[in-house]
């Protein structure tokens, strides 16, 4: 009797799964048809040639839906969206950016919809395809979904002026010889890689407030133009850059510019874990809601994630996506600080207050 009941239960579960898949496929067909009628999906992500191409061309080729793509820095995106929404304009469907942009700007603005209801395809919804058997969100409400987790470069140097092997700790940056010679690629008081590395300093038990105070005494040059900072580094105007934007840095390195990214693995304090510019947001009041859902399901598919990971060098959180192309130091390291979470970002006010006090205006 017990075996019979188990068999019946197993058959019932199998039938329910089949029904769910069939319903999912039916939903997908309807959404895809509606998306093709919309004809366009508006997507915004960080600046960089590789990320712009991978977020546009493969999707357009697969679905014949045009991607209206905008590359913009995280610190600029929030201000732009506020201006647009204050004017009653809702122009973006999907955003692929950092968690700071998501949690400190777009979510408080009320600009996001939860992502899980937009997931239709079975391979996307099936948690078995994701690391740890779950989807990775930076927030409890599910507005910001991580596409991958990676470590950041500790900092960047001009390889003609500086020997990379001399650095064993972030505290080596405090040596008198670096006074006046360090540039911060993006002002850490605004969202971006500069703020990310200073968050790491702030939260790390062996660095913290005193390290930031001492580092500020090195007469840091603070910029808000990532490209200019990396151009100055490559030209040798500055030998060291904190918070180097990875996509711009890697574009310049591929062109033969003398820039070298220092691995956090060679430093005593290690690094932090973050999706970098690889977290996903669905805008509310999206102008192309069906195309947005198709786009999200494509990006989270094995195909979409493999292309995105290869283009960005960020390890995907899908376990069926290859990682043999990933630079070893980018792969997540157990024990590194998680600086992308709401808990970490909740201390951002303390950090900003400190930075306002110690950095040049």
Q: What's 117's domain CATH number?
A: 3.40.190.10
Query: Is 337 among the domain residues?
Result: no
- Residue 212 included in any domain: yes
- Residue 16 inside a domain? The answer is no
Q: Are 350 and 258 in a shared domain?
A: yes
The strand order across the sheet containing 272-274 reads: 150-151, 272-274, 337-338
Predicted confidence at residue 118, as pLDDT, reads 97
Is there a single domain that holds both residue 143 and residue 157?
Answer: no
On whether residue 3 sits in a domain, the answer given is no
Indicate whether 191 belongs to any domain: yes
Q: What distance in Å separates the CA atoms of residue 8 and residue 303, rounded to the nearest whole number?
A: 36
Residues 6+ apart with CB under 8 A from 147: 96, 275, 278, 279, 280, 299, 300, 305, 308, 314, 316, 317
Structural domain includes residue 185? yes
Q: Residue with structure tokens 């991978």?
A: 54
In a domain, 264, yes or no: yes
Radius of gyration of the chain (CA): 22
Shared-domain flag, residues 128 and 165: no
Domain, as residue range, for 217: 153-270+345-358
Whether 142 and 280 map to the same domain: the answer is yes
Q: In terms of pTM, does the model score above 0.85?
A: no
Residue 24: its pLDDT value, please?
62
Q: Which residues of the chain have pLDDT under 50?
A: 6-23
pLDDT at 25: 67
Number of domains comprising the chain:
2
Q: Is residue 168 part of a domain?
A: yes
């Amino acid at each position: 009797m017990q075996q019979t009941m188990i068999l019946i239960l197993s058959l019932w579960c199998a039938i329910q799964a089949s029904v769910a898949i069939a319903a999912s496929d039916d939903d997908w067909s309807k959404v895809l048809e509606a998306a093709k009628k919309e004809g366009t999906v508006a997507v915004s992500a960080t600046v960089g040639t590789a990320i712009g191409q991978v977020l546009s061309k493969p999707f357009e080729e697969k679905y014949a839906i045009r991607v209206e793509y905008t590359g913009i820095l995280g610190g600029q995106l929030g201000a732009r969206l506020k201006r647009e929404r204050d004017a009653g304009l809702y122009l973006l469907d999907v955003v692929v950016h950092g968690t700071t942009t998501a949690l400190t700007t777009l979510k408080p603005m009320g600009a996001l919809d939860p992502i899980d209801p937009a997931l239709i395809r079975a391979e996307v919804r099936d948690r078995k395809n994701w690391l740890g058997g779950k989807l990775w969100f930076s927030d409890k409400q599910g507005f910001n979904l991580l596409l991958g987790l990676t470590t950041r470069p500790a900092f960047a140097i001009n390889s003609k002026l500086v020997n990379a092997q001399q650095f064993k700790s972030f505290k080596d940056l405090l040596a008198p010889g670096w006074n006046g010679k360090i540039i911060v690629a993006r002002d850490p008081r605004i969202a971006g890689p500069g703020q990310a590395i200073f968050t790491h300093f702030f939260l790390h038990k062996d660095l913290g407030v005193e390290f930031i105070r001492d580092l500020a005494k090195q007469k840091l040059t603070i910029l808000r133009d990532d490209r200019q900072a990396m151009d100055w580094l490559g030209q040798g105007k500055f030998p060291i850059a904190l918070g180097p934007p990875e996509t711009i840095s890697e574009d310049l390195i591929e062109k033969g510019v003398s820039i070298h990214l220092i691995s956090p693995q060679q430093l005593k304090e290690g690094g932090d874990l973050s999706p970098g510019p690889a977290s996903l947001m669905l805008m509310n009041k999206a102008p192309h809601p069906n195309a947005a859902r198709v786009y999200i399901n494509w990006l989270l598919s094995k195909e979409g994630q493999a292309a995105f990971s290869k283009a960005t060098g960020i390890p995907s959180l899908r376990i069926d996506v290859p990682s043999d192309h990933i630079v070893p130091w980018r792969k997540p390291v157990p024990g590194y600080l998680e600086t992308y979470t709401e808990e970490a970002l909740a201390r951002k006010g303390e950090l900003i207050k400190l930075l306002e006090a110690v950095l040049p205006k």
